[in-house]
Structure 1
Amino acid sequence: MSPRNFLKFGILCLVWGMTWIAVKVGIERVPPMLFAATRFMAAGAVLMALAWARGQRTAFGKADKARLLIVSLLMITLCYGPLFWGMQFVPSGTAAVIEMSLTPLALLAFGVALGEEHWNGLRAFAMLLGAGGLALLFAPSIDLTGLEKGLPMIGLVAIAWAAISSAWGSVLAKPLISSYGSARLSGLTTLIGGSVLLIASLAIESRSTQSLVTPWAWQAVAGWLFLVVFGSLLGYSIYMQLLRDTGPAKAGSFAFVSPAIAVLVGVAFANEPAETHRFIGMALMVLAAVICLSADRLPRFSNKSAAGVSRHR
């Protein structure tokens, strides 16, 4: 990975690590799906304007239009809708471990399946190491009791699907980013996906219609603005660029760094506990990200770990 992409990766981890607090503040006061939908629609409109100003106006072919719609639904609507719905029935720590652990694993799996990645045993080991670190990080809040049946179990499945949906859409998006530009793809996917998510919110969330015409509390507005500017305009755009330039597995390793940043922010500014096991978990997650990002620089070990599978060059 080039120094420029390392810098982008660091910014992405920092920004998306800090968005957790903004999301928490917002969904406590505004229906979650509505909060996400309006954020994505606003960011999409701005990104489309930027793409237009940059001259990114190439017409989409028929097949690419269909792929764009699928990508938008997978990355936005079918990710954030089930995620927020499922979090109503699953403890937040459990939800975080499931969603963040599955994201990089699913990105690697779909990348290999769709020909965007080649199997690398060392990178796969890093994914498992990071998943273990996540479990340590959120250990006190993991609660699997009562999830055997009913809505809690369906919620758990919905959260797992959110990670899979996002990863699937991300891998499918890579060819489109190369052809039509990261700003335009970021704008179109967030605008289309956010619009469908808004329709779903109006149909499902009982308070969504009222919340559209009622002024929000200033905390929700501040969190929404932070998510639009930093989470979407900056973070989502960088993520799209990393997908194109580094591949799904490397781009997806943000999921091992941003939760550690989120916890550090919580410890520093929200009086969250600073237990030893959480810092051990953070260390394992950062190590996993370093291994994942540097795996291609260790060809001898990568080849051994891949059990004879040729390394992509």
Structure 2
Amino acid sequence: MSSAPVPGPVKPGGPLKVALAYCTCFLLWGSTWSVVKVGLEDLPPLRFVGIRMLVAGLALLPFARSHGTSLGPGMGRRIAGLGLLQIAIPFGLLFVGQQWIPSSWAALLFSTFPMWLLLVGRVMLPDQRLTAPKLLAAGLGVAGVVMLQHSGLGSLKVSGHMLLGGLLCLTSVAVIAVANVLAKKHMGHVPAHVLVFGQTFSSALPLLVLSFLFEAGQPMNWSTRSVLAVLYLALCGTVLTYQCLYWLLPRISLAALGAMALLDTLVAVVVGVVFLDEPLTLSLLLGGVLILGGAALANLIPANEPSRRDAPPAGAPHSR
């Protein structure tokens, strides 16, 4: 990766645009959990996600070609490498791990994303300090997800395969956190559609190869619902959301980015209550309040902090 100074100045973007892009990400990602569940009834998991990424890349190909040649030598390889970290490796780990653990565990483990993001950001971005508001925001969000999943976690019996599945899912979350910090640190100058195109294409190939190796005997049923699931996940759950995400990265804090993963878990639970007749419980309401409180606090944290060497002396006014 390049050695550009970080973090750079916050890129312009009106509060309304930032809020719209932020809400688009967590609302659409929150809806994808139920769509994935529908698609998996007809398609093997690795083939499903590989085709999803391939369709997303093809949709962005005309737009990416017009900008890809002006990025300089070696940038294509860096974007492809980031795609492996952002999509191919974590998706593979998640799908394998979720064979052995219930969805409640997967959601709980994924809720550690804000913590991983803050820790990785502290190591890789020297100016990203672990402040009390950041830790409190992340802690409120994780506590909210624990509350959401409380009833499902109490009756589980732990086995060796479940521990392995949990470890794989937790590793995938850490890899995604590294990928997001690298994107924030090095890819701020790359157009969002070029980034999404490069990552989806570079991740589709290894996912489809793994599907060919491990899912060769599994049936595929191209029903109307599976086709619609692939198109929705490719266009709405990948093309639109990832472009919003990469536009947001220079404009929001790492704490706000981490809160997004908690909000999409909350959206997934609400979708289950509204559309799948799942029960509305007190733990769900309390968990929702904690998640929303953590997200609100995270979004009050500035995107960039003054470095220690540039910080004004005690008593001096801070510039806005």
**TM-score normalised by the shorter chain: which range applies?**
0.7 to 0.9
Shift of 1:287: 0.7
**1:97 equivalent in structure 2:** 108
**1:128 equivalent in structure 2:** 139
How has the CA–CA distance of structure 1 residues 312 and 92 changed in structure 2, closer, same or farther, with 3 Å as cutoff?
farther
How has the CA–CA distance of structure 1 residues 26 and 269 changed in structure 2, closer, same or farther, with 3 Å as cutoff?
same
SS of equivalent to 2:277: coil
**1:106 equivalent in structure 2:** 116
How do 1:170-181 residues align onto structure 2 when only pairs under 5 Å count?
170-181=180-191
Amino acid at match of 1:81: G
- Worse-matched range after superposition: 170-179 or 235-244: 170-179
How has the CA–CA distance of structure 1 residues 41 and 144 changed in structure 2, closer, same or farther, with 3 Å as cutoff?
farther
Amino acid at match of 2:16: P
- Worse-matched range after superposition: 68-77 or 122-131: 68-77
Q: Contact (CA 8 Å) 1:177, 1:244: kept in 2 or not? A: no
Shift of 1:65: 4.4
CA distance in 1, matches of 2:155, 2:171: 17
**2:61 equivalent in structure 1:** 48
Shift of 1:283: 1.0
Amino acid at match of 1:153: L
Q: 1:153-172 deviations in whole A, cap 9, x for unaligned?
A: 11111100111111111111
Is 1:6 paired with 2:15?
Answer: no
**1:15 equivalent in structure 2:** 28
Is 1:196 paired with 2:200?
Answer: no
CA distance in 2, matches of 1:312, 1:74: 37
CA distance in 1, matches of 2:120, 2:283: 32
Amino acid at match of 1:74: L
Q: Cα RMSD between the aligned structures? A: 2.4
Q: 1:20-41 deviations in whole A, cap 9, x for unaligned?
A: 1101111222111111111011
Q: 1:187-226 deviations in whole A, cap 9, x for unaligned?
A: 1011101211111122122445x53xxx412222221111
Is 1:259 paired with 2:269?
Answer: no
Amino acid at match of 2:228: A
CA distance in 2, matches of 1:48, 1:83: 27
Amino acid at match of 1:274: L
CA distance in 2, matches of 1:249, 1:155: 27
Q: Contact (CA 8 Å) 2:109, 2:169: kept in 1 or not? A: yes
CA distance in 2, matches of 1:196, 1:248: 29
How has the CA–CA distance of structure 1 residues 270 and 94 changed in structure 2, closer, same or farther, with 3 Å as cutoff?
same
**1:27 maps to which of 12, 25, 40:** 40
How has the CA–CA distance of structure 1 residues 56 and 5 changed in structure 2, closer, same or farther, with 3 Å as cutoff?
farther
SS of equivalent to 2:198: helix
Shift of 1:230: 0.8
Shift of 1:143: 5.7
- Worse-matched range after superposition: 263-272 or 134-143: 134-143
Shift of 1:56: 4.7
Higher helix proportion, which one?
1
CA distance in 2, matches of 1:230, 1:130: 25
In structure 2, stretches of 5+ residues that fail to align are 1-13, 306-313
How has the CA–CA distance of structure 1 residues 70 and 93 changed in structure 2, closer, same or farther, with 3 Å as cutoff?
same
Q: Contact (CA 8 Å) 1:106, 1:164: kept in 2 or not? A: yes
Percent identity, please. 27
Q: Contact (CA 8 Å) 2:253, 2:299: kept in 1 or not? A: no
How has the CA–CA distance of structure 1 residues 186 and 205 changed in structure 2, closer, same or farther, with 3 Å as cutoff?
same
Amino acid at match of 2:167: V
Amino acid at match of 1:91: P
**1:216 equivalent in structure 2:** 222
In structure 1, stretches of 5+ residues that fail to align are 300-307
Is 1:166 paired with 2:189?
Answer: no
SS of equivalent to 1:274: coil
